[in-house]
Amino acid sequence: VDSCIVAHDLLPFWREERAAIGDDRPISTYTVGMVNSPDVMAAKAMVDALGGEKHVQHNIRSFTPDEVFDLIPKIVYHMETYEAELIRSAIPNWLLAERAAQDVKMVLTGEGADELFAGYLYFQDAPSPRHAQNELRRIYGMLGNINLHRTDRMTMAHGLEARVPFLDTEFTRLAMSIDPSRKMVDREAVMTNSRGREKTFLRELFEGPNDNGHSIPRPVLWRAKAMQCEGVGEDWVSILQRKVSSLVSDAEMADAHITYPVNTPHTKEELYYRRIYDENFHGLEHVVKPWEGGGRAMGAAWKSDMYTREGLKHQFI
């Protein structure tokens, strides 16, 4: 929904500016995902809501689980990390940046909205507004090591610049000053895709039409948060994990604490990425700052059963 909001607000400015010089070309947008994945279907609905091909040139980079495996060494090299959750989410970013770089030099993304408006599903387990606000501060502070690190490295690997309007300093200051009780997440609302789910405050701001009279379709505006590595296709991650895990022996896993005493891998997937990292950046394992507990949700002040080191256990679409 974050990228939809950016497109929703940007299009009127684009059309006004282009009309002033007699240019009626559509604005370019880019989506990555497996065929008929949640992100792809939502993006198509958004394009239709914005007037279709007349106003939006929608470019979709489709992929299959088989093709992402060969990208891992390149991604680890450019990301300079072995953090599994980050590498998984970087894969679709790489494919998307590669496609967009064929046409443009700069893109706008929806990064940062989740850190400002409690967009992750584990916030439904936050025991109080104070806990939620403290967690937002914590994950906002990690943006440079995680989301923005991924966005910058994957785009610049293709000579593409990414800009993040949600993280404008004035907007960030305003968003973080909102009463955190308005960002609390209700579990039942998550189940029913209704008010009270994650990012309700942000979603409500964009229920109305933009200056062109176009609105974000309700199923898109209120759809569940899907992590990048999940929204682009719901089974490719498990396929990838099984494949990389098959390339790590039980003996290697048993000796992981000896081979890698700093930030020791806990799963075969993590060990596989660590092995590639070590081939490129031996002796620099201390530079990487992974999430505490192996993932974003595991470092929260409360426990959530929704996430493991391998990713999201339960998804609501």
User: For each of the chain's 317 residues, which pLDDT tens digit applies?
Assistant: 999 999 999 999 999 999 999 999 999 999 999 888 888 999 999 999 999 999 999 999 999 888 899 999 999 999 999 999 999 999 999 999 999 999 999 999 999 999 999 999 999 999 999 999 999 999 999 999 999 999 999 999 999 999 999 999 999 999 999 999 999 999 999 988 889 999 999 999 999 999 999 999 999 999 887 654 454 545 788 889 999 999 999 999 999 999 999 999 999 999 999 999 999 999 999 999 888 887 888 899 998 877 777 776 654 43
Angle at 156 between CA 153 and CA 161, to 5 degrees: 115
Residue whose structure tokens are 């025991």 = 127
Strands annotated E in the chain: 27-33, 56-62, 106-108, 161-163, 307-308, 311-312
For the whole model, what pTM was predicted? 0.90
Angle at 248 between CA 244 and CA 251, to 5 degrees: 165
Residue 90's Cβ-count burial label (10 Å; 0-12, 13-18, 19+) is buried
SS3 107: strand
Task: Kindly state the greatest CA–CA separation across the chain.
Answer: 67
Start-to-end Cα distance in the chain: 12
Residue 33's Cβ-count burial label (10 Å; 0-12, 13-18, 19+) is buried
